[in-house]
Amino acid sequence: MTSRRIKLLIPRDRAELIPLLFTIFLICLYVTFELCVILPTIYHNIFTYKEIFHLIFGFYVIFNLIGNLYICMITDTSINTIICPVLLPSTIVNSISTRKTQQDIIYYHCNWHYCHSCEVNVPPRSQHCHICKICILKRDHHCVFLGRCIGFRNIRYYMCFLVWTWIGLVYCNILHMDYTYELVGTFSWRVMISCLCPLIAWLFNFVDHFSLLLSCICSTSIILSLYVLFLIIQQSFLISNSQTWYEYDKDIHMYNTGKSLRFNLQLVFGKRWYLALLNPLMSSQPLGDGMSFDMHRSETRDAQNTGTKYI
């Protein structure tokens, strides 16, 4: 079991070790920077209850961030975790078209189908990843920064990793503002240029070499927080519509049953979704088995009877 987890931690494509190690490096850099530079400067190395609060909250963020990252990487969400039938089960959505159309894409995606690469029958919504070289249950996308495919069993941890990364970056930005105010005593246009455009501030001698390094770290945290927020909004939109990235790209809405947002959250985070967001160790299995899914009945009936997809 241990050797298997270690194997899962290493990306199948060795080139993805670079973005993965870069992600880990940024996490270590910001943790070290906040603990060794920011907090001592703000509180003048005096151990107060405010600093204790910052430490407790900071380590809680790190616990959730690292915990979700680790579990997301060691969770096997491939077809190796299920028993695939030898014979293809009966179709759920029929297709009567004779050429490659939108309906053919739906027919292939929404039924059990044969994967020629894995040489096995795979469930609906499963797709073959040419980087991981295996079919993934309810495949959403392949994350380059983690070197993993995000699918049915690990999308919860991926989403929580994004959320806690964004919380950590926003928290760092708040501390950086306090740190800047502690050093210069005010927010002038020079300070804003130094934080947002450190290289320009260095070229015009607004900052020295050490301040350039600090400004780069501060400006990077602002950019990363905006980028991660963008990813969270994208993924939240897909979860609320019960879609994967492939289904969004192909304009497939068949799995959006019109149920409540709470139900769609349970499909990803489980019935205890509110606790899963707060603790990566909380047991909360996603609804379903990754092989069968609820479908919009009217759209299914329309596709079966007419061979066209109602969108």
Q: Spell out the residues 6+ positions from residue 30 whose beta carbon is closer than 8 angstroms to its own.
A: 168, 169, 172, 217, 221
Sequence-distant (6+) residues with CB within 8 A of 147 are 10, 11, 12, 13, 16, 17, 19, 20, 73
Look at residue 48 and tell me whether its pLDDT is greater than 50.
yes
**Which of the residue ranges 84-88, 225-229, 254-258 would you say has the lowest mean pLDDT?**
84-88
Write out the two tokens for 100.
């490659």
Q: Is the pLDDT at 99 greater than 50, yes or no?
A: no
The least confident of 130-134, 180-184, 284-288 is: 180-184
pLDDT at 98: 42
CA nearest neighbour of 63 among 35, 34, 38, 27: 27
Per-residue model confidence (pLDDT) at position 305: 47
| CA gap 136, 119 in Å, rounded | 14
| Buried-state track 248-277, b at ≥16 Cβ within 10 A, e below 16 | eeeebbbbbbeeeeeebbbbbbbeebeebb
Any residues with CB less than 8 A from the CB of 80 and at least 6 apart, and which? 134
pLDDT of res. 138: 92
pLDDT at 51: 79
Residue 96 pLDDT class (50, 70, 90 cuts): very low
Give the pTM: 0.85
